[in-house]
Amino acid sequence: MPAIGQSIPRKEGRAKVTGQARYVDDLRLPGMLHGITVRSPSPRGVIRDIRYGAGIPWDAITIVTARDIPGANVVALILDDQPYLAAGRVNHAEEPVLLLAHADPILLEEARRSITIEIDPLPPVFTMDEALSGREIVWGADNVFKTYLVSRGDVDAALAAADTIVEGEYDTGAQEQLYIEPNGMLAVARVGGDVDGVTVWGSMQCPYYIHKALAALFNLPGEKIRVVQMETGGGFGGKEEYPSILAGHAALLAWKSERPVKMVYDRAEDMVATTKRHPSRTRHRTGVTKDGRLVAMDIDFTIDGGAYCTLTPVVLSRGTIHAPGPYFCPNVRVRGRAVATNAPLHGAFRGFGAPQSLFALERHMDLVAAAAGLPADEFRRRNFIRSGQTSAVGQVMREPVDMAGLLDRALTLSDYHARRARFEAANPRSTLKKGIGFAAFMHGAGFTGSGEDRLASIVTVEATVDGRVRVLTACTEIGQGTNTIFAQIAADALGLDAGAVEVAQPDTAVVPDSGPTVASRTCMVVGKLVESAALELRATLDRKLGNVADFATACREYIERFGTLRASSQYRVEGGARWDDERYEGDAYGTYAWAVYVAEATIDTATFEVRLDDFVALQEVGKVINPVLAAGQIEGGVAQGIGWTLFEQVAWRQGRMVNAQMTNYIMPTSMDLPPIRVFFEEVPYAHGPGGAKGIGELPMDGAAPAIANAVSQAAGVNVTSIPITPEKLMALMERSGG
Amino acid sequence: MADAPISIRCRVNGTDLVLHGHPMTRLLDALRVELHLTGTKEGCGEGECGACSISLDGRLVNSCLVPLIQADGSDVITIEGVAQGERLHAVQEAFIAYGGAQCGICTPGMILAAVSLLERTANPNAHEVREALAGNLCRCTGYMRIFEAVLNSPELRRASEASRAAAPGGGPQAH
């Protein structure tokens, strides 16, 4: 029986349920010190003085400043604009200025509190409008990190000729990833001597990002840097780029103190200082004909990148490409813009810009449908993109696409039409207002555009004399099931039981660079390399030994005669896909996962709280490798989407998050979620392992618009902004006289 | 002096021992640092997330909020004490079978909370499960697989007890 398609239990499940799984904070080395960060109290200014308080044994504390950095004081990522430690100037509150290490964490905290960083203030910029006005330039020449323009057909002419034009403006707030394990790193660093180089163990998604960043920070060749992933307690993008900073900080302290140094953030520090989801504003002008055909989409998509570039251009790109959604329209213009403010960094977070632009789109499509005099579902049915049609960036949909089929099934599963009618009839006489809404959307799997081509990821599969197989990749298990699905994929390629396959702990001294664990690429892109490397290993055996029946016997014979038995596979673009970076057009993604989500909501008009009563999540993600793990991904993504939509509000004061606690930044508990009912359509994807596509980010995209559409029906108002807090909803309903 | 180090006696996972520290040392730290029982996790340090849940004299508590002095004379069970040797507790089996653990960081606390519920209510309904786990936050699963695991634990326990009774000699090898 093939392993793919079976709900094989999680490989590291036993270690996790018994408490034996080892996370970075569980590590302890002899002579180890603790490290902490001293941060800027001010959002923008020039450091005038740093004063060290009295009564602290400063001689016993290791202090690292920007001047101690042996290599380049920049976090190597896309642009070299972010320092590891502020030197002279600070650009956001909580920016790292100093690092301290000592064996006693309590003394360290006292030391941190005794330090005063005096800053001559400069005028800060906190909103996208202030940034765009250009009155105060806080980054580059114009406060703009990046712009994109998607242009197809003649939008202005089509708008002029349209029967109806519908305009809307939508905004979304910042969101904290809130992995339950905070960021943490343990470093050993010695330049020269017996331990020559830098090694870090930690919580991370992307070992090779850290590897590259440490090499630049210490000005060392790659072979002197080693990065090891420990069990990682959730990431969601929050451990994509930030761990490069923390790894650098821990390593700097280790290098200066010549002792192992562990840095683990407490919750408050993790929340105030690390990356969040980009706040966004999207404006739509949409032209439709009398019979409900989309003829023009004019979209302006702006995101707030915070003080430094980080991954903002890539987030903007995905958000821009997803902005027109799963529709066919001959005339589309999308202007994407990412601006700089003096907020702490906004960075990678599951969905990566797409949840923001898709929230706007799918809320807006309900209004366009109404303006065209059509039910929300019928309007979409007339405009869904189909196989053979071309997207706004010029990608021909070569794979089967059946959004209408997904929509019909999702509406049936949720009893949408009957309920919508029933709620509409009952709402006027009830203090509990009910609504049901849906969202139709897609998510591109893998890196955008030419990203995968550039990464050129490598995977290795090796076998031992007793026929045990080991998969070597840099893809991290962060809860999503990497270890298990890679074992299933390799097992099927080799004709083995999944139990015979082990997935190596990501360690840059051992595994090849198979790219970062991001962008819904692990299963589809890297999983495909696991499959092809395993097939190559099998083919090597067959070539050298002829057709052998028993795998273990063949492995033994091969290794005895020829030595090491291993095979590697490197990414190559599949199926003639092409992308033009200059013109920003072509095959934006290898393929897309498609989905329709339906939410049912009740508003209590005494408290204006929204309760969700039901949630249907139907998607086509190619072949499902492991149904239990896949459902877990969808449910978790939907829950995170529900949090973003209803509860999770970052409260800013002078560019600083003031509710940096789990007590007042509210994520969903077990009491807050409806039943999340998950369904799959399985349409095998020709270039995925066993037919699978990417899955991880898709579920983050659909909850917000589906819920906003349901709440809009229930309240009889137009919800354009999330989170939909009771305060916001009350104001909206009172304004409308509801 | 109020913060002079103290020694307390307690029983941890069935073993009587003495713990040393300042009276206000968090029990969480005493368990993790002194006893190397690192299965108990810190997620927030303020009693919100439940990652540090343990059983203290049969009650589920956040060990980040328990000062060492309060644990004097108590009976503590951590995640390391839930399985009996190699034989997993039915809740642990269920978490593996139903996908209740993803990243695993909330899992020890979540399992302690579920075990605590099942000790009070042998066959909880869905609402009781949701209520019992409301103090344990999970960011990965959306809780659905965890609910399923807990709801199916009693059945798993019965099945495992039946098979152990049927197996000659019973013992830890029987599943």
CA distance B9 to chain A (A): 24
Evaluate if residue A250 carries a pLDDT over 60: yes
Interface contact B43-A631, CB threshold 8 A: no
For A537, the token pair is 């290993």
User: Rounded to whole angstroms, what are the CA distances from A58 to A27, A79, A110?
Assistant: 27, 36, 11
d(CA A517, CA B150): 30
Task: Kindly list the residues from chain B whose CB atom is less than 8 angstroms away from the CB atom of residue A667.
Answer: 137, 139
In terms of CA atoms, which chain B residue is nearest residue A481?
Answer: B102
Interface contact A640-B49, CB threshold 8 A: no
**Confidence band (pLDDT; 50, 70, 90) for B164?**
confident
- Is A25 an interface residue toward B (CB < 8 Å)? yes
Q: What pLDDT does residue A577 have?
A: 85
What percent of chain A clears pLDDT 90, i.e. is strictly above it? 97
CA distance A557 to chain B (A): 35
Averaged over A75-84, what is the pLDDT? 93
Q: What pLDDT does residue A684 have?
A: 97
User: Rounded to whole angstroms, what are the CA distances from B53 to A161, A454, B48?
Assistant: 64, 45, 10
CA distance A264 to chain B (A): 11
Task: Kindly list the residues from chain A whose CB atom is less than 8 angstroms away from the CB atom of residue B78.
Answer: 19
Determine the residue type at A671: M
Interface of A with B in 591-630 (CB under 8 A): 628-629
- H/E stretch holding A242 reads helix A242-257
Interface contact B107-A663, CB threshold 8 A: no
Q: In this predicted complex, what is the ipTM?
A: 0.97
CA distance B26 to chain A (A): 13
Interface of A with B in 434-493 (CB under 8 A): 478-481
**Confidence band (pLDDT; 50, 70, 90) for B160?**
confident
Q: Confirm if B7 and B75 have CB atoms less than 8 A apart.
A: no
Nearest to A676 among B37, B79, B142 (CB): B142
Interface contact B139-A638, CB threshold 8 A: no
Task: Kindly list the residues from chain A whose CB atom is less than 8 angstroms away from the CB atom of residue B95.
Answer: 13, 16-17
Nearest to A17 among B51, B88, B138 (CB): B88
d(CA A73, CA A80): 9
In this structure, what are the phi and psi dihedrals at residue B63, rounded to the nearest 5 degrees?
-70, -15
Determine the residue type at A500: A
d(CA A471, CA A44): 47
Positive/negative CA dihedral, A287, A289, A291, A295: negative
Task: Kindly list the residues from chain A whose CB atom is less than 8 angstroms away from the CB atom of residue B63.
Answer: none
Interface contact B83-A18, CB threshold 8 A: yes
Q: What pLDDT does residue B2 have?
A: 53
Q: Which of A668, A737, A680 is nearest to A707 (CA)?
A: A668
Q: Write the DSSP assignment of A495-547 as a string of letters.
A: T--GGGEEEPPPBTTTS-----S-TT-IIIIIHHHHHHHHHHHHHHHHHHH-S
Determine the residue type at A346: H
CA A475 to chain centre: 15
CB atoms within 10 A of CB A328: 18
Determine the residue type at B65: L
Please tell me what DSSP assigns to residue B87.
Answer: B
Interface contact A180-B49, CB threshold 8 A: yes
d(CA A323, CA A336): 9
Nearest to A479 among B95, B103, B129 (CB): B103
Determine the residue type at B87: R
> What are the contacts of A82-86 at 24+ separation with CB within 8 A?
A82/A308, A82/A309, A82/A310, A82/A345, A84/A217, A84/A245, A84/A248, A84/A249, A84/A252, A85/A249, A86/A40, A86/A47
**For all residues of chain B together, what is the average pLDDT?**
93
Please tell me what DSSP assigns to residue B173.
Answer: T
d(CA A475, CA A479): 12
**Confidence band (pLDDT; 50, 70, 90) for A50?**
very high
In terms of CA atoms, which chain A residue is nearest residue B110?
Answer: A17
CA B165 to chain centre: 26
Question: Tens digit of pLDDT for each residue in B40-75?
Answer: 999 999 999 999 999 999 999 999 999 999 999 999
Nearest to B46 among A14, A25, A663 (CB): A663
CA distance B163 to chain A (A): 21
Interface of A with B in 308-327 (CB under 8 A): none
Q: Confirm if A342 and A125 have CB atoms less than 8 A apart.
A: yes
Averaged over A624-638, what is the pLDDT? 98
- Name the 3-class secondary structure at B22: coil
Please tell me what DSSP assigns to residue A102.
Answer: E
Question: Tens digit of pLDDT for each residue in A605-625?
Answer: 999 999 999 999 999 999 999
Interface contact A663-B134, CB threshold 8 A: no
Interface contact A180-B131, CB threshold 8 A: no
Q: Which residues belong to CATH 3.30.365.10 in chain A?
A: 24-122+178-273, 276-448+583-735, 457-570
Which CATH code of 3.90.650.10, 1.20.1440.230, 3.20.20.370, 3.30.365.10 fits the domain covering A24-122+178-273? 3.30.365.10
- Name the 3-class secondary structure at A571: coil
Q: Confirm if A236 and A350 have CB atoms less than 8 A apart.
A: yes
- Name the 3-class secondary structure at B55: strand
- Name the 3-class secondary structure at A445: strand
Averaged over A710-722, what is the pLDDT? 98
d(CA A546, CA B126): 57
CA distance B49 to chain A (A): 7
Topology adopted by domain A276-448+583-735: Aldehyde Oxidoreductase; domain 4 (3.30.365)
**Confidence band (pLDDT; 50, 70, 90) for A547?**
confident
- Is A673 an interface residue toward B (CB < 8 Å)? yes
- H/E stretch holding A62 reads strand A62-64
Nearest to B96 among A10, A179, A671 (CB): A10
Residue with tokens 């998950």: A678
Q: What pLDDT does residue A575 have?
A: 76
- Is A198 an interface residue toward B (CB < 8 Å)? no
Cis omega (within 30 of 0) for bond into A207:
no
**Confidence band (pLDDT; 50, 70, 90) for B165?**
confident
- Name the 3-class secondary structure at A494: helix
Interface contact B142-A637, CB threshold 8 A: yes
Q: What pLDDT does residue A195 have?
A: 65
Q: Please give the model's pTM, rounded to 2 decimal places.
A: 0.97
CA distance A60 to chain B (A): 22
- The burial of A59, by beta-carbon neighbours within 10 Å (0-12 exposed, 13-18 middle, 19 or more buried), is given as exposed
**Confidence band (pLDDT; 50, 70, 90) for A541?**
very high
CA distance B86 to chain A (A): 10
Averaged over B24-35, what is the pLDDT? 97
Which of B44, B86, B92, B98 to mutate to probe the A interface, most A CBs <10 Å? B44
Q: What pLDDT does residue B175 have?
A: 35
Question: Tens digit of pLDDT for each residue in A647-675?
Answer: 999 999 999 999 999 999 999 999 999 99
- H/E stretch holding A632 reads helix A627-642
A607-642: burial string, b at 16+ Cβ within 10 Å, e else: ebebbbebbbbbbbbbbbbbbbbbbbbbbbbbbbbb
For A593, the token pair is 């996962």
d(CA A467, CA A559): 10
Q: What pLDDT does residue A576 have?
A: 81
d(CA A152, CA A595): 25
Averaged over A479-499, what is the pLDDT? 97
Evaluate if residue B172 carries a pLDDT over 60: no
- Name the 3-class secondary structure at A218: helix
First to last CA, chain B: 53
In chain B the domains, ranked by start, together with CATH numbers, are 6-81 (3.10.20.30), 90-166 (1.10.150.120)
CA distance A132 to chain B (A): 35
In terms of CA atoms, which chain B residue is nearest residue A16?
Answer: B104
d(CA A143, CA A121): 19
Q: What pLDDT does residue B171 have?
A: 43
For B169, the token pair is 């000699």
User: How many cross-chain Cβ pairs, A to B, lie less than 8 Å apart?
Assistant: 169
Give strand ranges (E) for A377-450.
Answer: 432-445
Task: Kindly list the residues from chain A whose CB atom is less than 8 angstroms away from the CB atom of residue B100.
Answer: 17
Interface contact B143-A478, CB threshold 8 A: no
Task: Kindly list the residues from chain B whose CB atom is less than 8 angstroms away from the CB atom of residue A15.
Answer: 104
Which CATH code of 1.10.10.10, 3.30.720.120, 3.30.365.10, 3.40.50.620 fits the domain covering A457-570? 3.30.365.10
Q: Report, in this order, helix, strand and coil percent for chain A, each rounded to 5.
A: 35, 25, 40
* Total residues belonging to chain A: 738
- Is A106 an interface residue toward B (CB < 8 Å)? no
User: Rounded to whole angstroms, what are the CA distances from A697 to A206, A208, A624, A670, B87?
Assistant: 17, 21, 15, 22, 36
Question: Tens digit of pLDDT for each residue in A428-451?
Answer: 999 999 999 999 999 999 999 999
Q: What pLDDT does residue A669 have?
A: 98
Averaged over A90-104, what is the pLDDT? 98
CB atoms within 10 A of CB A159: 18
Nearest to B142 among A15, A478, A673 (CB): A673
Interface contact A14-B144, CB threshold 8 A: no
Compute the CA torsion angle A719, A720, A726, A732 (nearest 10 deg): -60
Determine the residue type at A277: R
CB atoms within 10 A of CB A682: 14
Question: Tens digit of pLDDT for each residue in A271-300?
Answer: 999 999 999 999 999 999 999 999 999 999
- The burial of B35, by beta-carbon neighbours within 10 Å (0-12 exposed, 13-18 middle, 19 or more buried), is given as middle
For B159, the token pair is 């099945």
**For all residues of chain A together, what is the average pLDDT?**
97
Averaged over A223-243, what is the pLDDT? 98
Nearest to B111 among A17, A267, A631 (CB): A17
In terms of CA atoms, which chain A residue is nearest residue B96?
Answer: A13
Q: What pLDDT does residue B173 have?
A: 42
Which of A14, A18, A180 to mutate to probe the B interface, most B CBs <10 Å? A180
Q: Which residues contact B82 (CB under 8 A, 6 or more apart)?
A: A18, B89, B91, B92, B111, B112, B115
Nearest to A17 among B41, B101, B137 (CB): B101
Which of A20, A177, A670, A700 to mutate to probe the B interface, most B CBs <10 Å? A670
